[in-house]
């Protein structure tokens, strides 16, 4: 078993004995006791895939092989460096993006381990935003899955070079050829094998390095032994290698010429050609192996060093505060510019900001300018992160990723820079949260603490939002799906010690009237001393479309003295807060006070207010009151194949389809749908489209609730009122 590998010195484990003919220059230098890596020597690699394909296991294998950890971490045993959050340990899935550097062949590879589950797509986007390349993992049993396609799409959006690792070759039913074919079918001809497995399932023994044409055999040790290519694989190697060489040749005109003239490319030339193809997203090399058995992982690390562009090759576009385009060059002497791509909130440590430097360098105990907010920030100790461990550093140079604690004003997506040369880097396009539940405290008096803690959690997670709905009075939390909000509720309990109940959000219904009526009410009370007297005649009618409330008066001869008229309006407004149908706020009415009477001693503001409120309630009941519900403008983006099902489902949800149009390889369906039908849409859409569909929604207008539904809502409200009165 891998976990019982014989103890080896870290230096022996670092680096492989075999040599593929690639030369490296020294890319690291000691600065102030810390090792600072030049941008040429950095590789920022995001590990991405469908949930559970083995990203974290692969990261653990890389950390172990590179000597960054002494013990191989395991997701299943809760000992992974990258899955350290208690929720990750408990659920055995990654929830947030974690970071760890490994040193391999004089390079520093910053591993960015992203979660695979759909709900955490915000973390994936943040991780990919700061990487120069992605390693897409594909399960050798399942082949291309929905999540594989999604991350492939995100990489394409960002024009990010990709390597592919076909993982779990040791599992029963693992099949490399089938997986490669499904990758080529889905992602195109640029997908070419770089290593292929020797054996499969329990018989997996090693891989063939197609460039060197050598076999690497793992006989239970973490380091492979070099060997001849097994004779029975010669044809397979030949055919796969020709795909690889052809792809490499297309990397440059010189190589192509040489190739077309029938000359053999040297290993160095093959690597160079591939590197160019990878950078331009024309070539997507595939490697095979088993992360769990550490098999095929070292060749992947080699490929990362050789094929993934360094930050030095990738200057980025930024903007001056005036909106002028400018370039951030990865030079330590250039003005400093970095993007904060992740923020974590810890009740003890406080806020931690993870940042990626694009130009210049940041030093501990300095000052930095937040160009997004126009504020100066004090910078204390800087760190490099290895999972949850923080390793102090004196500086973080261009191309590298570091972290700093306790910035006061800075949030995810902000640019930190030199105050003398302010720039703004492009932010991160986070999806908006689409799934909501209502929370209420389990213990009385916890309201304040809950809203403060939820606000802290929202700082940490841009795909999470909290809001107190003024119409229903409920505290709503919005996220990407059920698991996401589940994790939030757990964190609330674990980190902040408060527990909540979850409920379906209430629909903020409203009430209005359809007919004009007249209403009179005389409020008269004689109790001992001074009495109460207020008497009004109101005209109540539907307001002009779009108007919430209008109030007017047509009083002649002082039937209602001027000083009491504001009290009449106030009385009506108060009565409108609870409509007569189901107690929802009333909207869209015009009220005119046109007559009344008063008493010189007993009339008062209070008496007129009461009279107005009572008159309004009486009148409203006769004015054909109806219930209104919020209608949302919904945009659903799905692959064409799901259009019919998605539209059928929207119809079932009382949706009105407005139109559809193609967007890339997707179709966008626009519809108006009542909010009452949308609370679980995130879940429904995911199951209809197997996770391929996404949607956005925003409030548009109010519409009358169909009569049969209105009756139900009114009956429920009545039952609730009666229960509360008991």
Rounded least distance, CB 348 to Mg ion, Å = 25
Told to check if 123 binds ligand GTP by CB under 6 A, we report no
44 or 94: whose CB is closer to Mg ion? 94
Query: Does 53 sit near ligand GTP (CB under 6 A)?
Result: yes
Instruction: Return phi, psi of residue 183, to 5°.
Output: -65, -45
Nearer to ligand GTP, 404 or 483 (CB): 483
What is the widest separation between alpha-carbon atoms in the chain?
116
Smaller CB separation from ligand GTP, 361 or 484: 484
Does residue 290 bind ligand GTP (CB under 6 A)? Answer: yes
Q: Which residues contact 573 (CB under 8 A, 6 or more apart)?
A: 549
57 binds, among ligand GTP, Mg ion, none (CB under 5 to 8 A by kind): ligand GTP
Q: To which residue do tokens 């060489």 refer?
A: 245
Stretch that binds ligand GTP, among 112-120, 437-445, 506-514, 586-594 (CB under 6 A): 112-120
| Closest to Mg ion by CB, 55 or 293 | 55
Residue 592 sits at φ, ψ, to 5 deg, of: -125, 125
Write a three-state SS string for 600-666. Answer: CCCECHHHHHHHHHHHHHHHHHHCCEEEEEEEEEEEEEEEHHHHHHHHHHHHHCCCEEEEEEEECCE
Residue 484's Cβ-side half-sphere holds a number of Cα atoms within 13 Å equal to 29
Q: State the sign of the Cα–Cα–Cα–Cα dihedral 66, 402, 388, 413.
A: negative
Binding interface with Mg ion (CB under 5 A): 55-56, 94
Among 2, 16, 37, 49, the residue binding ligand GTP under the rule CB under 6 A is 49
689 binds ligand GTP (CB under 6 A): no
Contact of residue 360 among Mg ion, ligand GTP, none (CB under 5-8 Å per partner type)? none
Q: Is residue 117 at the binding interface for ligand GTP, with CB under 6 A as the rule?
A: yes
In whole angstroms, what is the distance from residue 524 CA to residue 522 CA?
6
Nearest distance from C-beta of residue 403 to Mg ion, angstroms: 20
98 binds, among ligand GTP, Mg ion, none (CB under 5 to 8 A by kind): none
Least CB distance to ligand GTP at residue 234 (A): 27
Q: Give the Cα separation of 663 and 639 in Å (integer).
A: 10
Contact partner at residue 678 from Mg ion, ligand GTP, none, CB < 5 to 8 Å by partner kind = none
CA distance 357 to 337: 6
What's phi and psi for 700, nearest 5 deg? -120, -60
Question: What's the closest the beta carbon of residue 115 comes to Mg ion, in angstroms?
Answer: 6
Cα–Cα dist 81/69, whole Å: 9
What is residue 156's three-state secondary structure?
helix
Q: Does 692 bind ligand GTP (CB under 6 A)?
A: no
51 binds, among ligand GTP, Mg ion, none (CB under 5 to 8 A by kind): ligand GTP
359 forms part of the interface with ligand GTP (CB under 6 A): no
> Which partner in ligand GTP, Mg ion, none is near 292 (CB below 5 to 8 A by kind)?
ligand GTP
Of the residues 292, 328, 555, 565, which one makes contact with ligand GTP according to CB under 6 A: 292
CB 265 within 8 A of CB 258: yes
What CA–CA distance (Å, rounded) separates 424 from 359? 12
Q: Tell me if 614 sits within 8 A of 635, measured CB to CB.
A: no
Residue 596's binding partner among Mg ion, ligand GTP, none (Cβ under 5 to 8 angstroms by kind) is none
Pick the binder of ligand GTP from 43, 125, 168, 351 (CB under 6 A): 168
Two tokens at 156? 């394409």
Q: Does 291 bind ligand GTP (CB under 6 A)?
A: yes
Enumerate binding residues for ligand GTP (CB under 6 A).
49, 51-57, 75-76, 93-94, 115-117, 167-168, 170-171, 290-292
């Amino acid at each position: 078993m891998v976990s019982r590998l014989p103890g080896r010195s870290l230096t022996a484990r670092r680096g492989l004995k075999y040599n593929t003919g690639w030369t490296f220059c020294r890319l690291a230098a000691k600065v102030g006791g810390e090792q600072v890596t030049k941008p040429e020597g950095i590789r920022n690699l995001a590990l991405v895939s469908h949930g559970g394909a083995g990203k974290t296991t692969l990261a653990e294998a890389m950390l172990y092989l590179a000597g960054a950890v002494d013990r191989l971490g395991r997701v299943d045993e809760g000992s992974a460096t990258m899955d350290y959050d208690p929720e990750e340990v408990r659920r055995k899935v990654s929830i947030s993006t974690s970071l760890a550097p490994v040193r391999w062949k004089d390079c520093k590879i910053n591993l960015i381990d992203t979660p695979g589950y759909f709900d955490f797509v915000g973390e994936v986007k943040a991780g990919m935003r700061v990487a120069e390349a992605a390693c897409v993992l594909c399960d050798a049993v399942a082949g291309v899955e929905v999540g594989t396609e999604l991350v492939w799409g995100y990489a394409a959006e960002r024009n990010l070079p990709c390597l592919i690792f076909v993982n779990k070759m040791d599992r029963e039913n693992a099949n490399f050829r089938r997986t490669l074919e499904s990758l080529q079918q889905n992602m195109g001809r640029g997908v070419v094998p770089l290593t292929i497995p020797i054996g499969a399932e329990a018989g997996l023994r090693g891989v063939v390095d197609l460039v060197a044409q050598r076999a690497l055999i793992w006989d239970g040790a973490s380091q492979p032994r070099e060997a001849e290519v097994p004779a029975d694989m010669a044809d397979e190697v030949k055919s796969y290698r020709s795909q690889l060489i052809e792809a490499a040749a297309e990397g440059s005109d010189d190589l192509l010429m040489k190739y077309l003239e029938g000359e053999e490319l040297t290993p160095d030339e093959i690597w160079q050609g591939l590197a160019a193809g990878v950078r331009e997203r024309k070539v997507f090399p595939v490697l095979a192996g088993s992360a769990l058995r550490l098999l095929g992982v070292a060749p992947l690390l080699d490929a990362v060093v050789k094929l993934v562009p360094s930050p030095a090759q990738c200057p980025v576009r930024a903007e001056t505060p005036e909106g002028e385009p400018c370039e951030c060059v990865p030079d330590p002497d250039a003005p400093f510019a970095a993007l904060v791509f992740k923020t974590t909130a810890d009740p003890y440590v406080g806020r931690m900001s993870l940042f990626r430097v694009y130009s210049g360098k940041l030093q501990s105990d300095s000052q930095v300018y937040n160009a997004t907010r126009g504020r100066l920030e004090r910078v204390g100790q800087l760190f490099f992160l290895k999972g949850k461990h923080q390793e102090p550093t004196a500086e973080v140079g261009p191309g590298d990723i570091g972290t700093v604690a306790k910035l006061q004003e800075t949030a995810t997506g902000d640019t930190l820079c030199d105050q003398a040369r302010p720039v703004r880097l492009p932010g991160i396009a986070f999806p908006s949260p689409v799934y909501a539940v209502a929370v209420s405290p389990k213990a009385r008096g916890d309201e304040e603490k809950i809203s403060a803690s939820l606000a802290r959690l929202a700082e940490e997670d841009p795909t999470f939002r909290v809001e107190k709905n003024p119409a229903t009075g409920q505290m709503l939390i919005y996220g990407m799906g059920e698991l996401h909000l589940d994790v939030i509720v757990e964190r609330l309990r674990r980190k902040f010690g408060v527990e909540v109940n979850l409920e379906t959000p209430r629909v903020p219904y409203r009430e209005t009237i359809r007919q004009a009526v007249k209403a009179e009410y005389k409020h008269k009370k004689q109790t001992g001393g001074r009495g109460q007297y207020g008497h009004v005649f109101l005209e109540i009618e539907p307001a002009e479309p779009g108007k919430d409330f209008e109030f007017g008066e047509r009083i002649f001869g002082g039937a209602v003295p001027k000083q009491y008229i504001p009290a009449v309006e106030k009385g009506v407004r108060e009565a409108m807060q609870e409509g007569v149908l189901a107690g929802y706020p009333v909207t869209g009415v015009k009220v005119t006070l046109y007559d009344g009477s008063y008493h010189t001693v007993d009339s008062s503001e209070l008496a007129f207010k009461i009279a107005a409120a009572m008159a309004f309630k009486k009148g409203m009941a006769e004015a054909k009151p109806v219930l209104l519900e919020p209608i949302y403008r919904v945009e659903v983006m799905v692959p064409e194949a799901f259009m019919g099902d998605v539209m059928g489902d929207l119809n079932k949800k009382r949706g009105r389809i407005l139109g559809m149009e193609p967007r890339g390889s997707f179709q966008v369906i626009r519809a108006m749908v009542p909010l009452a039908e949308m609370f679980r849409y995130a879940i429904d859409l995911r199951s209809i489209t197997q996770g391929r569909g996404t949607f956005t929604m925003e409030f548009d207008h109010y519409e009358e609730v169909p009569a049969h539904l209105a009756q139900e809502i009114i009956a429920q409200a009545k039952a609730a009122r009666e229960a509360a009165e008991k």
